[in-house]
Amino acid sequence: MKDRFNLYRFASPATFYPLAGTLIPYFAAIAVLFGIAGLYLGMLVAPTDFQQGEGYRIIFIHVPASWMSMFIYLVMAFWAAIGLAFNTRLSGMMAQALAPTGALMAFLSLWTGALWGKPMWGTWWVWDARLTSELILLFLYIGYMALTAAIDDPRRADKAGGLLLLVGVVNIPIIYFSVKWWNTLHQGSSVNLTKSSMATTMLYGMLLMAMCFWMYSIAVALMRVRTIMLERERNADWVKAELAGDVQ
């Protein structure tokens, strides 16, 4: 980095490993700060909803989790495309490192949605278009993780998983719209999720929580990618040097 800053330098695990190590505390700290601010705004400042009472406050977890679950799939598909196009090692590792977090977000979104639905709609689950497509998204995450786990050769796992992600990302709009049409055909939309107006404090609380979830996801993905790098490159010199340094 003497002459000029080159981003591609970090495409190698040997250089990305220390970079990720330095970045993790920052992302974690930002996540905590945003989390404190968001929870404070959401739990204490935001007014009680006149229709839903206090129960609505679960959206400060629910909505960010849903956003992240969709966003992480897109990011994984992005890394998959990069990995397949340029044959880079790190891209596949990033995709694999993100997958458990994405699945966790999808699960959290469904779980908090059920907790919210019971007092509000009187039922844990309805076959609403959004709920159904979120469930299918969770299935796609699980399929990806199962496929990469079943392949022993890490390079093949990366490529096969990447191809599956790209196929999935093409299919997501098709699945979403078919579920939507199916839902409107079978039953009238009994529940309307969209609120006409939302207090600005609620919106800001939600955005802060979304930032918190985002930063958390980055921090956790970086931690996971570091372990993946160590595991895969265990025979490389830099890993041996790294591990020897840890022992001393």
Partner 1 sequence: MLKIIFAVIGRDLKLAMRRQADIVSALFFFVIVVSLFPLGIGPEPDLLRKLAPGVLWVAALLATMLSLPRLFADDHRDGTLEQLALAPHPLGLVVTGKVIAHWLVSGLPLALIAPVLGVQFDLTGDGLFVLTAAILLGTPALSGIGAIGAALTLGLRGGGVLLSLLVLPLYIPVLIFGAGAVDATVSGLGGEGHLSLLAAMTFASLGFAPWASAAALKIALE
Residues that bind partner 1 (CB under 8 A): 136, 139-140, 142-143, 146-147, 150-151, 155-156, 159-160, 163-164, 166-168, 171, 174-175, 178-179, 181-182, 185
Dihedral angle computed from the Cα positions of residues 227, 228, 230 and 233, in that order, rounded to the nearest 10 degrees? 180
Residue 205 CB, shortest distance to partner 1, in Å, is 33
CA–CA separation, 23 and 114 (whole Å)? 35
> Which residue's CB is nearer to partner 1, number 140 or number 208?
140
CA–CA separation, 154 and 166 (whole Å)? 18
* CA angle, residues 8, 11, 17, in degrees to nearest 5: 125
Residue 167 CB, shortest distance to partner 1, in Å, is 6
> Which residue's CB is nearer to partner 1, number 118 or number 155?
155
Residue 3 CB, shortest distance to partner 1, in Å, is 37
Residue 34 CB, shortest distance to partner 1, in Å, is 33
> Which residue's CB is nearer to partner 1, number 33 or number 84?
84
- What is the Cβ-side half-sphere exposure of residue 19, based on CA atoms within 13 angstroms? 12
> Which residue's CB is nearer to partner 1, number 39 or number 172?
172
CA–CA distance from 188 to each of 31, 157, 175, 196 (Å)?
A: 40, 43, 19, 19
Helix (H) or strand (E) holding 58: none
> Which residue's CB is nearer to partner 1, number 48 or number 171?
171
Residue 152 CB, shortest distance to partner 1, in Å, is 9
Q: Comparing C-alpha atoms, which of 85, 42, 97 is closest to residue 208?
A: 42
Residue 149 CB, shortest distance to partner 1, in Å, is 9
Q: Comparing C-alpha atoms, which of 36, 89, 72 is closest to residue 165?
A: 72
Tokens of 106: 């999808």
> Which residue's CB is nearer to partner 1, number 87 or number 227?
87
Could you give the 3-state DSSP secondary structure of residue 53? strand
> Which residue's CB is nearer to partner 1, number 33 or number 151?
151
CA–CA separation, 16 and 187 (whole Å)? 51
Residue 175 CB, shortest distance to partner 1, in Å, is 6
